[in-house]
Amino acid sequence: SRMYLVCPMNMSPQVDPHKSGQDVWEEFSHSFTPAVREVVEFAKKIPGFRELSQHDQVSLLKAGTFEVLVVRFASLFHVKERSVTFLGGQKYSVDALRTMGSGDLLSSMFDFCEKLMNLGLSEEEMSLFMAVVLVSADRSGIENVNSVEALQETLIRALRSLITRNHPNESAIFTKLLLKLPDLRSLNNMHSEQLLAFKVH
């Protein structure tokens, strides 16, 4: 049976059946590495992030990179036409991806991206939201929870004031955004399970 890699951070879902598992993995890793580096560069620009301990910077990035990438690349999921653009530029319909073995994660990603895009956030609001996603004091392995918590609170306050200023008649937007945080956690968990399954196979 053919193998597919239905992650849009891949250049294409097709996997060359002649390549070894290690080669497939290395090629995949090569395609998502620039996006991960972008997240790190983004994190470095969050005021206060570089003042956290090196250990906590790494822990936050390890735990949160996938969630930041989901927000950053939400526009790759075309809800109306039910398709996904892969990093190689090619679009694939949800039905085609289903036949390649995509499951609940893809459906959940669509639900999430649709709701996020419907909020109509500006680029600045989206960036601040990504900073809030990344700087979460309840990630595992954080050694200085108080420092991360203090930075998280500052970022949440900044996000609230930006949203309130930009959308004075839509007070629910801020609440809706905060409610996206547990949704992202859940996507992250589903994604980790799929990665494990991929590595095992």
Partner 1 sequence: FNDPASNLGLEDIIRKALMGNLEERQE
By CB under 8 A, name the binding residues for partner 1: 29, 33, 36-37, 40-41, 44, 54, 57-58, 61-63, 65, 191-192, 195-196, 199
Query: Looking at this protein, which amino acid is placed at residue 52?
Result: L
Nearer to partner 1, 179 or 196 (CB): 196
- Tell the smallest beta-carbon distance from residue 108 to partner 1 (Å): 17
Name which of 37 and 157 has its Cβ closer to partner 1. 37
Nearest to 195 by CA among 11, 25, 22, 35: 25
Report the relative pairing of strands 83-85 and 77-78 from DSSP bridges. Answer: antiparallel
| Closest separation in Å from C-beta 174 to partner 1 | 29
CA-closest candidate to residue 76, choices 109, 123, 36, 99: 109
User: Nearest distance from residue 196's CB to partner 1, in Å?
Assistant: 5
CB of 193 to partner 1, least distance (A): 9
Nearer to partner 1, 33 or 107 (CB): 33
Q: Which is nearer to partner 1, 15 or 119 (CB)?
A: 15
DSSP tag of 14: B
Paired with 77 in beta bridges are 84
CA distances from 97 to 30, 71, 88, 107 (A): 22, 21, 15, 11
